[in-house]
């Protein structure tokens, strides 16, 4: 059976750390969607390991790691990460695999991504999506329009050349003349094809065989539910299904295989890129949280937007994913605050609304109703058991559980692996 770890906000919740820790209990760790726009930072023995494509479970040397069919893969980035693992002495050979059905992100897609963002912004950031410019959206667009190339196509040279040349020609028609050496790129991908051979498998067959053999599979979600193409604040979303449904289509597995859905919740809220953010704090509170939490994007380096915890968002994402348990991260970041707030409801035209609005115009007119809580004003990094937490922190946790209706089983109180409280009695 499978468990999945999913972000419950706008990303950057700290999913990688939980995957790293829980992966020790699993035989297979798989990513199902997204590409190098994901950024997971894991801290082991004081050393930071940043991953964008390769699953965080790679640090468990007993687990196989899969880049699933729903992913879009930029091979130069993949090989750079593989080299990084090798440099750090992390064994990956014979246990890191790439789906033959995954689509390829080319440098061309990245160029198009930047051009489209420039078109939308028109000198400002008001209308741009705020993408990472990693070519993710344009690659998924090529996939949806049936003009993309998959990993398996690397081994059909004539088909690859024909389709790739057509792809470039179509982009020239849309964006005009721009410099791109097709022949050099084709030659480069011939070399990549040979380099990639040891990693390529039929991941759909592999995973379903793993289930038949009774193996445990951990699915590592990328981005987050509030960035989901359907359920996020469209159009300020990613280009894939980043909620629980994406695991089935992105790995080729039955929904009944996924039995545990773990939602990762940051103790406050952050966001990168444009779009609505109801609890955003553009003041000293936001500045203090950003500094205390080192809130700068793993992928882009951009300062993240900051706000209080939003329970309306959490109820919405929990409903979609049917979370069975939560991981509350970065509780320690709130330790210096006298007062902490949670957005518990939205009011629209004076009336409390029951669901998260689809219309961004409606959302922009919503008033957030807050509840305030006293802070605990003490360091939490030494805490290893739930009972050791100050009463104020326990009350904060309890209120989140009440508002969302899901138990908080894991609590992060620092950056290291050891800084995770596990309430085993709730599992």
Q: Which residues are annotated as a binding site for substrate?
A: 298-304
Annotation marks residue 40 as catalytic: yes
**DSSP code for 375:** -
Task: State the catalytic residue, choosing from 12, 100, 153, 228.
Answer: 12
Is 376 within 8 Å of 340 (Cβ atoms)? no
As a whole number of angstroms, the distance between CA 261 and CA 321 comes to 7
Collect all residues with Cβ–Cβ distance below 8 Å to 85 and sequence separation of at least 6.
Answer: 54, 58, 92
As a whole number of angstroms, the distance between CA 329 and CA 420 comes to 9
As a whole number of angstroms, the distance between CA 31 and CA 70 comes to 8
Which residue positions form the known binding site for IMP?
A: 12-15, 37-40, 132, 146, 223, 238, 302
Task: State the catalytic residue, choosing from 103, 143, 266, 271.
Answer: 143
Which residue positions form the known binding site?
A: 11-17, 37-41, 132, 146, 223, 238, 298-304, 330-332, 412-414
Instruction: Please count the other Cβ atoms lying within 10 Å of the Cβ belonging to residue 118.
Output: 12
Omega cis (within 30) before 207: no
Distance between start and end Cα atoms, the chain: 16
Q: What is the DSSP string of 188-210?
A: HHHHHHHHHGGGEE-HHHHHHHH
Give the C-alpha distances (Å, rounded to integers) separating 183 from 73, 170, 178: 21, 16, 15
**Residue 24: phi, psi to the nearest 5?**
-65, -20
Which residue positions form the known binding site for Mg(2+)?
A: 12, 39
Task: State the catalytic residue, choosing from 40, 52, 116, 341.
Answer: 40
Annotation marks residue 48 as catalytic: no
Two tokens at 345?
A: 């409801």
Going by DSSP bridges, is the β-strand pair 408-412/325-329 parallel, antiparallel, or unpaired? parallel
Catalytic machinery residues: 12, 40, 143
């Amino acid at each position: 059976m499978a468990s999945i770890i999913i972000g419950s906000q706008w990303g950057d919740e700290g999913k990688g750390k939980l995957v790293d820790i829980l992966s020790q209990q699993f035989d297979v760790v798989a990513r199902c969607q997204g590409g190098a726009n994901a950024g997971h930072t894991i801290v082991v023995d004081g050393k930071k390991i940043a991953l964008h494509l390769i699953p965080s479970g790679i640090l468990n040397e007993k687990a196989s790691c899969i880049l699933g069919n729903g992913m879009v893969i930029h091979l130069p980035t993949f090989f750079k990460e593989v080299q990084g693992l090798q440099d750090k002495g992390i064994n990956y050979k014979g246990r890191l695999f790439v789906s033959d059905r995954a689509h390829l992100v080319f440098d061309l897609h990245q160029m198009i991504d930047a051009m489209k963002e420039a078109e939308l912004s028109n000198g400002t950031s008001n209308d741009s999506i705020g993408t990472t410019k990693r070519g993710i959206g344009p690659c998924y667009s090529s996939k949806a329009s049936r003009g993309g190339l998959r990993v398996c196509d690397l081994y059909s040279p004539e088909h690859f050349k024909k389709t790739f040349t057509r792809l470039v020609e179509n982009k020239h028609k849309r964006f005009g003349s721009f410099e791109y050496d097709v022949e050099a790129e084709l030659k480069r991908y011939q070399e990549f094809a040979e380099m990639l051979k040891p990693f390529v498998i039929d991941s759909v067959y592999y995973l379903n065989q793993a289930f038949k053999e009774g193996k445990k599979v951990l699915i590592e979600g990328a981005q987050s539910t509030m960035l989901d193409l359907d359920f996020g604040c469209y159009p300020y979303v990613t280009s894939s299904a980043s909620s629980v449904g994406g695991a089935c289509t992105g790995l080729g597995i039955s929904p009944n295989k996924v039995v545990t859905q773990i939602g990762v919740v940051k103790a406050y809220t952050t966001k990168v890129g444009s779009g609505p953010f109801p609890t955003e704090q553009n003041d000293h509170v936001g500045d203090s949280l950003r500094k205390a939490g080192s809130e700068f994007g793993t992928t882009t380096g951009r300062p993240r937007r900051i706000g209080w915890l939003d329970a309306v968002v959490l109820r919405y994402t929990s409903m979609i994913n049917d979370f069975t348990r939560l991981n509350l991260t970065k509780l320690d970041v709130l330790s210096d605050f006298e007062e902490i707030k949670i957005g518990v409801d939205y009011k629209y035209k004076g009336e409390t609304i029951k669901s998260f609005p689809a219309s961004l115009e409606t959302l922009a007119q919503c008033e957030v109703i807050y509840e305030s809580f006293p802070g605990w004003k003490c360091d939490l990094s030494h805490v290893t058991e739930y009972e050791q937490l100050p009463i104020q922190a326990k009350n904060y946790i309890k209120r989140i559980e009440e508002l969302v209706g899901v138990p908080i089983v894991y609590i992060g109180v620092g950056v290291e692996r050891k800084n995770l409280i596990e309430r085993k009695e709730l599992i």
